[in-house]
Amino acid sequence: MTTPTPYWFQPALLETPPLSGAKVLQKDQPPPGWSFCVFRLVSVKSMRNDLSLRDRVAIGGVRLVNVASRVLKRGSGTVAGGQIGLLVSPELLKKLARGRRTVLVTGTNGKTTTTAMVGAGWGSEVATNDTGANMLAGHVAALVGSASEHVVLEVDEAWLADAVSSIEPEVVVLLNLSRDQLDRASEVRQMAERWRKCLAGPGGETRLVVANANDPLVVFAASDAARVLWCDVPTDWQADARSCPRCTRALVRTGTSWHCECGFAKPTTLGVTLRSGLVIHGREVPLELSLPGHFNEANAAMALAALYEVGIDPVVAVARINAVRGVAGRFTRRRWHGHTLELLLAKNPSGFDALITTVQDGHQDLWIAINARIADGRDPSWLYDVPFERLKGHRVWCLGERRLDLAARLEYGGVDFEVVDDPDLIPVSPSPTALLANYTAFSEWLERSDSC
Amino acid sequence: MVREIRLVLTIATLLPDLLGTYGDGGNGLVLAERARRRGNDVRLVTMELGDELPEAEIYLLGGGEDGPQRLARDLLIEGSFHARVEGGATVLAVCAGLQILGESFSVEGDDEFEGLGIVDVRTKRARTRSVGELLVDVGGRALVGFENHGGETSLGDGVTPLGRVRRGRGNDGNFDGFRSGSIWATYAHGPVLALNPWLADELLQSVLGHALEPLVSVADDLYNERVAALNSR
C-alpha cells in the first residue's frame, strides 16, 4: 500500500482548484489573510444575480462567521456560518441551490465516502460539504463556498426532507438504513417512513432516487417515489430489516431475494448490479477501488449511478473514483509514537460488522476506541449488536472513554482484550495496526497522529 | 445411590427482531456466560419471528419500536407465554417488553392497545420522550442504565416498583420498573445486565435456588465506573 495523500490535496477529488470562497471552508487549512477575507465577504460576483439584498447580507454573514470562527480556532465554522445565513434569510438554501445540478447522498453508513466519490467522479469543481457538516447549515456553507454548477451534498438522515424541499435535487442517493444513535435520531422504521413521505412528495417527476434494492428499509423509503433506479449492491447487515417495513411480518429470504406475504418485495427491475462485476444500465464498469472493503464497492456503484443521471459516463467516472484513497482521514495510514495505524471509522453495528470483515484476516491485534459523547450517541449499548464474537482468536486493545463498556462486551463474547488506560504502554508492533474508532474517538486519533 | 442430575438452564430471548432495538439481546449473553462460568449447563435460545415459544426457565424481552412492539404482543398472546409465566418461569422485561406485559399501552398517537395482561400495570404516552442515563435505587443498591422511551407507566395495587429513580425518569419520575412474582421489569437499557452484574446474579440465583460464588470480571469495573459517573453529576 502506498502512502495515501490527504483527501483535500487530491487532484482526483478537486481536479480544478476550488473558488477562493471554498478554500475558506476547507478543513485543516490555515485561515487566509484579512484583506482577502474582506474582499471575499463583500464580493457576490460568483453568486447569481437574483439574490435580494437580504440574501447578500446573509451570504456575507456566512462568510464572516466562517472566517471569524477559523481565526478564533473555534472549529471549521461551517455550521455557525450557515446558521447565521439561514437566520438572516430563511430561504437562502433554496436560492443558493436554484439552477444548480445537485446530488444528495444519505444513509446510515458511507455518506461521506460516497459524497467524495460523486465529487471525484464528476471530474470538475463541485460545491460539497466535505467538512462533515451535513445538516442545512452545512449545505448553506458549501453553496456559499463554491458557485460551481455541480453540487454534491451529504445529508444527515433526519434532515433529508428539509434538504430535498429546499434544494430540489436532481438525484437522491439512499445508501442504507440501520440502527444508529437511537438516543438522538428516531428509530429506523420512523426514519424510513419520513424518507418515503418526502420522496413521494412534490418534484418527484424530475428527481431520480438511486436506491439500494437489498436494504428493505431503503426499498420501503423509495417505494412511492416517481422515478427510482434500483441498485443490486451487496448489503450484509440485515438485522434491522428482518421484519417487513410495511407490515412488520417476517420477511422471507431466498438467495439474494426477499419478500413479505403482504406483497412487499425486492424490486425486480435492477438498473445497477454488483455481483462478480459492476454493470450499470447494461454496461460493464471496471471497478478497482483503492479504498478497502466491499461496502465501498457498493458506495461506488451508487455514486456512479448518480453520476450517470447527471450525464457522466460511468467508464470515465470510475477511473476517477478508483483513484480515491483516504476520505476525511478514513482508511488512511497514520503514525503515532512509533506505531503505524490504519484509521477506520465505524459508528454503529452495521459499520463495525463491515469493518471486522475487512480487517480480521490481516491483523492479529486490533485497537478499538469507543466514546459516547453526543456526536457518538450517548448510549453505547449498541456494542451488544456488533458481532464481536467474530474476533475470537484476536486480541483487542480497548481504548476511548467507554473502553470498559467495550471490554465487558468482549469478555462476555469470549474475545481476548486489554483495557488501555495509557496508550503509550501498548508495545509497538512492526506491522501496521488497524484502529477502529467511533466518531469522536476517530477525530481524536486523527488529530493526535501524523500522516505517514 | 443417588445419581446427580445436572439441570440445564434454558434462557430464551424472545423476538429480538421486534424487541431488540437497543442492544437488549446482550442480556441473554450476560446471563448465559455468568451461569456457565459457575459451572452450569446453559442453553441460550432465541425465538425468532415465526417460531413457537421455546420452553425455558428464563424469558427475556427487550425494547423495540412502536409497530413491532404491537406485533410482539400479538404473537405472544397467541402462544403459551402467559401459562409459562404463571407456571413460574422467570421474566426480565425491558422498556417495550415491560409495557406489553401490562394491561394496556399507548404508543403511536394516543391509541391504546391491549397488553398481555400478565401484570396490573398501564402505560400511557408521556408528554415528552425520556432519553438519558438512568440511576435507580433498588433496595439500597444502585442500578445504572440508559433509558429511551416515550411511556409513562403506572403500577396497579400490589405491584411493587423495582426501585426508586435517582436520575432520569423510569416509569414516572419516581419509580422504575416493577417486580411481580418471578417477573423483573425496568426501563434501563445498557444492556441492563451487562451494566449491573449484581442484578444478573440475583436473577440467576432466584432461578437456580442457591447462592452463586463471586465472579470477578471487568464488568465489575464497568459497574463501579458507571455508578461513580452517575453519582458525581
What pLDDT does A120 receive? Answer: 96
- Which of A243, A253, A352 has the most B C-beta neighbours within 10 Å, making it the best mutation to test the interface with B? A243
A412 touching B (Cβ < 8 Å): yes
Spatial separation of the C-alpha atoms in residues A141 and B174, rounded to whole Å = 45
B190 touches chain A (CB under 8 A): yes
Among candidates B23, B131, B217 on the partner chain, residue whose Cβ is nearest the Cβ of A385: B23
How far is the alpha carbon of A356 from chain B, nearest alpha carbon, in Å?
18
Locus of grid cell 425465538: B47
CATH level 2 (architecture), domain A97-322: 3-Layer(aba) Sandwich (3.40)
Pairing of strands A365-369, A433-437: parallel
Distance from CA of B1 to the nearest CA of A (A): 38
Q: With bands split at pLDDT 50, 70 and 90, how would you rate the model's confidence at A19?
A: very low
Q: Do B148 and A379 touch (CB under 8 A)?
A: yes
Please provide the DSSP assignment of A296-324 as one string: HHHHHHHHHHHHHHTT--HHHHHHHHHT-
The domains of chain A are located at: 97-322, 333-451
Cβ contact B22–A408 (<8 Å): no
Check whether A7 has a pLDDT greater than 50.
no
How many residue pairs from chains A and B have C-beta atoms closer than 8 A? 96
Q: Does residue A11 have a pLDDT over 70?
A: no
Any residues with CB less than 8 A from the CB of B112 and at least 6 apart, and which?
Answer: B104, B105, B106
Distance between CA atoms of A35 and A43, rounded to whole angstroms?
12
Q: Do A382 and B23 touch (CB under 8 A)?
A: yes
Contacts of A417 in chain B (CB under 8 A): 218
Grouping H, G, I as helix, E, B as strand and the rest as coil, residue A265 is strand
Instruction: Answer whether B217 sits within 8 Å of A408, measured CB to CB.
Output: yes
pLDDT exceeds 80 at position B36: yes
Please answer yes or no on whether A250 and B148 come within 8 Å at the CB atom. Answer: no
pLDDT in tens, A383-433: 999 999 999 999 999 999 999 999 999 999 999 999 999 999 999 988 899
Whether the upstream peptide bond of residue B161 has omega within 30° of 0, thus cis, is no
**SS3 (DSSP) at A340:** strand
Query: What confidence category does residue B82 fall into, taking pLDDT thresholds of 50, 70 and 90?
Result: very high
Instruction: State residue B6's pLDDT score.
Output: 58
* Bridge partners (DSSP) listed for residue A383: none
Beta strands B121-138 and B104-106 are parallel
Residue A160: enclosing H or E segment and its boundaries?
A: helix A160-167
Contact call for residues A195 and A156 (beta carbons, < 8 A): no
The pLDDT assigned to A400 comes to 97
Reported ipTM:
0.95
Backbone angles phi, psi at A212, to 5 degrees: -75, 110
Three-state SS across B190-230? Answer: CCHHHHCHHHHHHHHHHHHCCCCCCCCCHHHHHHHHHHHHH
What is the nearest CA distance from B157 to chain A, expressed in angstroms?
33
| pLDDT value at residue A74 | 56
Any A CB within 8 A of B230 CB: no
Q: Could you tell me what percent of chain A has a pLDDT over 90?
A: 56
**Interchain contact, A412 vs B29, CB within 8 Å:** yes
Residues A386-416: b if buried by 16+ CB within 10 A, e if exposed: bebeebeebebbbbbbbbbbbbbbbbbbebe
- Residue B163's pLDDT is 98
Q: At what angle do helices B197-208 and B26-36 cross, to 10 degrees?
A: 60
The answer to whether B167 and B174 are in contact (CB under 8 A) is: no
Q: Pick the residue from chain B with its C-alpha nearest to A406.
A: B222
B132: closest CA of chain A, how far (Å): 8
The CATH fold of domain A333-451:
Protein-Tyrosine Phosphatase; Chain A (3.90.190)
Question: Per-residue DSSP letters for B90-132?
Answer: EEEEETHHHHHHSSEEE-STT-EEE---SSSEEEEEEEEEEEE
State residue A21's pLDDT score: 36
Cell 444478573 sits on residue: B200
- Mind listing the pLDDT tens digit for each residue in B134-164? 999 999 999 999 999 999 999 999 899 999 9
Our separate counts of H helices and E strands in chain B read: 7, 12
Strand, helix or coil at A188? helix
Optimal mutation site among B189, B218, B230, interface A, most CBs of chain A within 10 A: B218
A298 is written with which cell numbers? 457498493
Of all residues in chain A, the percent with pLDDT exceeding 70 is: 85
Total residues belonging to chain B: 233
For residue A64 the three cell numbers come to 464572516
Q: Which residues from A are below 8 Å from B218, CB to CB?
A: 404, 407-408, 411, 417, 419
Asked if residues A208 and A227 have their Cβ atoms less than 8 Å apart, the reply is: yes
Q: Does A408 touch chain B (CB under 8 A)?
A: yes
A375 — pLDDT class (breaks 50, 70, 90): confident
Specify whether the CB–CB gap between B134 and B168 falls below 8 A: yes
Whole-Å CA distances, A210 to A48, A118, A213, A219, A232: 29, 13, 9, 10, 11
Asked if A343 contacts A329 with a C-beta cutoff of 8 angstroms, the reply is: yes
| More confidently predicted of A335 and A9 | A335
d(CA A128, CA A106): 14
Torsions phi, psi for B61 (to 5 deg): -120, 135
Reported confidence tier of residue A323, pLDDT bands at 50, 70, 90 = very high
HSE toward the beta carbon, residue A371, CA cutoff 13 A? 14
β pairing state of A450-451 and B121-138: unpaired
Q: Which residues from B are below 8 Å from A405, CB to CB? A: 194, 222
A108 contacts A353 by C-beta, under 8 angstroms: no
**Contact in structure between B60 and B24 (CB atoms under 8 Å):** yes
Residue A40 is predicted with a pLDDT of: 54
On whether any CB of chain B is under 8 Å from the CB of A171, the answer is: no
Of all residues in chain B, the one with the smallest CA distance to A410 is B218
- A189 → closest Cβ in B67, B70, B194: B67
pLDDT of amino acid A20? 35
CA pair distance A234, A237, nearest whole angstrom: 9
Residues with Cβ within 8 Å of A301's Cβ and at least 6 positions away in sequence, in order, are A231, A233, A272, A274, A278, A280, A287
Please state which CATH class domain B8-232 belongs to: alpha beta
CB contact under 8 A, B132 and A250: no
Whether chain B has a CB inside 8 Å of the CB on A248: the answer is yes
With CB atoms and an 8 Å threshold, state whether B219 touches A412.
yes
Q: Which of residues 47-86 of A touch B (CB under 8 A)?
A: none
**Each residue of A143-181: pLDDT tens digit?**
988 889 999 999 999 999 999 999 999 999 999 998 776
Report how far apart, in Å, the C-alpha atoms of A362 and of each of A249, A354, A392, A414 are. Answer: 40, 14, 14, 20
Length of chain A: 452
Mutation to test the B interface, candidates A187, A253, A381, most B Cβ within 10 Å: A381
Q: Where are the domains of chain B?
A: 8-232
- Distance from C-alpha of B218 to C-alpha of A101, rounded to nearest angstrom: 54
From first CA to last CA, the distance across chain B in angstroms is: 60
Residues 173-212 of A with CB under 8 A from B: 179, 182-184, 187-190
First to last CA, chain A: 12
Cβ–Cβ of B148/A183 closer than 8 Å?
yes
> CA–CA distance from B23 to each of A29, A349, B197 (Å)?
40, 10, 16
Q: Which three cell numbers stand for residue B173?
A: 419520575
Contact B218 A419 (CB under 8 A): yes
What is the rounded distance in angstroms from the CA atom of residue A116 to the CA atom of residue A13? 7
Best of A220, A237, A384, A404 to disrupt the B interface (most B CBs within 10 Å) is A384
Residues A232-260 have a mean pLDDT of 85
Place A76 in a pLDDT band, splitting at 50, 70 and 90.
low
Residue A3 pLDDT = 40
Q: What is the pLDDT of residue A184?
A: 56
